Amino acid sequence: MYPNTQMLIAGEWVNATGGATLDVLNPATGEQIGTVAKASIEDLDRALEASMTAFQLWKKTPVVERAALLRKAGELLRERADSIARLLTIEQGKPFAEAQVEVLLSADVLDWSAEEARRIYGRLIPSRADGVVQRVIREPVGPVAAFTPWNFPVSQVVKKVAPALAAGCSIIVKAPEETPASPAELIRALVDAGIPAGVVQLVYGNPAEISEHLVPHPTIRKISFTGSVPVGKHLAALAGKHMKRATMELGGHAPVMIFDDVDVQAVAHTMASSKYRNAGQVCVSPTRFMVQESVYDAFVSSFVETAAALTVGDGLQSGVKMGPLVNERRVQAVDELISAAAKDGARVALGGERIGNKGSFYAPSVLADVNRDMRIMNEEPFGPVALMMPFRDVEEVVAEANRLPFGLASYAFSRSARIVETLANEVEVGMLTVNHLGLALPETPFGGVKDSGYGSEGGAESMESFLSPKFVTHNAFY
């Protein structure tokens, strides 16, 4: 029951010009389950033309109407959550329960953006002369090109589409070819809610070819990208060359800082559950576990015990807590990093091997006693592996947290107000969550610093990059 996925261009669901397609595989079986249309340059040009035409209409649509359409799309997404989640699990691998949460949270993002649209305020600036009125108007920046990854194929699209539409922009989405059906259903909900033709469009194809055509095109006024650091840097440079505004949500290598004044077993259980969510294929996945020396052995033992109890399998099966990696390339990449670390002296406390010979399953893994020189401590593993190392004091842990060029998410557990304040002030990241898991909510900003990118997706900040301020000064007495 998996569909062959089409593109949405100028309000119509279409195959690619010439009929080109790409295969879609189920990562739990390795078998082909369908195809997705592969856009040609002609298809992209049609989408660009439709996007500019639609923008002229959409930017003038009253904000209350835009908000109502977004809320309607959110309602449709909730009604269809189970069927969309099933497609998501089949094509991406994550357990069905996780897929359901992703779809439902995406509906919340639509609701949040609808309400933020009603709060796009300008302002008056007191003037220096009698009769002069100085005002700032916030206008939609224009047509947007968005590029999204396969690890959260619905929520990563909605985080770009919802604020763009709320602000009055049109948008062309290049969604992931590995997981095309579920984002297509998100876009379908927007179309069925009544979003005018061309305001939102969906394409798939050769990522490099599409980005090289869309980013420099004069129609496109803003770029939004989620993905790897190298690709993000390339697109940011291309956007800069053509003076395009850009939001970059890139990779991380999230530190977890655990001090000796906490409930070790409870923290280990919480963080093991978080680490293996989506098989560790999460940009904010907790990865570098730095544990204070006096509780290090106890934490590693409790963490391994929790991770070992996870059921790995097809995400549609009952009781499964971790599905496969998205494809064979990810299996090989993770295995190479773990093998290299083990050769360099890391202790494989759990896992370290693939599971079976069908599908791209990899065991939940824990590497203990790692050191800073290991490749896996310097490259984002993006898979189901936790790295454990002890530390002595807060100065040491801050130095390690800041050592890498990444700065997306971080986690900390301590009952000391002094330590928490030190971490809040000194850890160089876009997000720090202390004593709980509090990231990636619709109402909170989401983004990084340093090589992890710039700009925010989420919260009131999500609207800013889709709006341009215009200053108007008027002498009423002239």
Instruction: Report residue 381 as tokens.
Output: 């593993």
From 102, 169, 177, 283, the catalytic residue:
283
**Strand bridging mode 431-434 / 409-413:** parallel
From 249, 426, 461, 464, the catalytic residue:
249
Strand order in the sheet with 467-475: 123-125, 132-140, 467-475
Q: Is 68 exposed, middle or buried (0-12, 13-18, 19+ CB in 10 A)?
A: middle
Give one DSSP letter per residue of 23-79, joined into a string: EEEETTTTEEEEEEE---HHHHHHHHHHHHHHHHHHTTS-HHHHHHHHHHHHHHHHH
The CA distance from 315 to 41, in Å, is 36
For 300-310, give one letter per residue: b (16+ CB within 10 A) or e: bebbbebbeeb
**Which residues make Cβ contacts (< 8 Å) with residue 308, sequence separation at least 6?**
350, 364
Are 173 and 199 in contact by the 8 Å Cβ rule? The answer is no
Are 125 and 136 in contact by the 8 Å Cβ rule? The answer is yes
**Which residues make Cβ contacts (< 8 Å) with residue 375, sequence separation at least 6?**
337, 340, 341
Q: Is 169 a catalytic residue?
A: no
What backbone phi and psi angles, to 5 degrees, belong to 241? Answer: -60, -35
* Helix/strand/coil percent split, the chain, to 5: 40, 20, 35
345 DSSP 8-state letter = T
What backbone phi and psi angles, to 5 degrees, belong to 431? Answer: -145, 135
Give one DSSP letter per residue of 202-231, joined into a string: EE-S-HHHHHHHHTTSTT--EEEEES-HHH
User: 392, 391, 423, 399: which is closest to 410 by C-alpha?
Assistant: 423
Instruction: Report residue 380 as tokens.
Output: 């984002």
Measured in whole angstroms, the distance separating CA 387 from the mean position of its chain's CA atoms is: 22
Q: Is 283 a catalytic residue?
A: yes
Query: What amino acid positions are annotated as catalytic residues?
Result: 249, 283
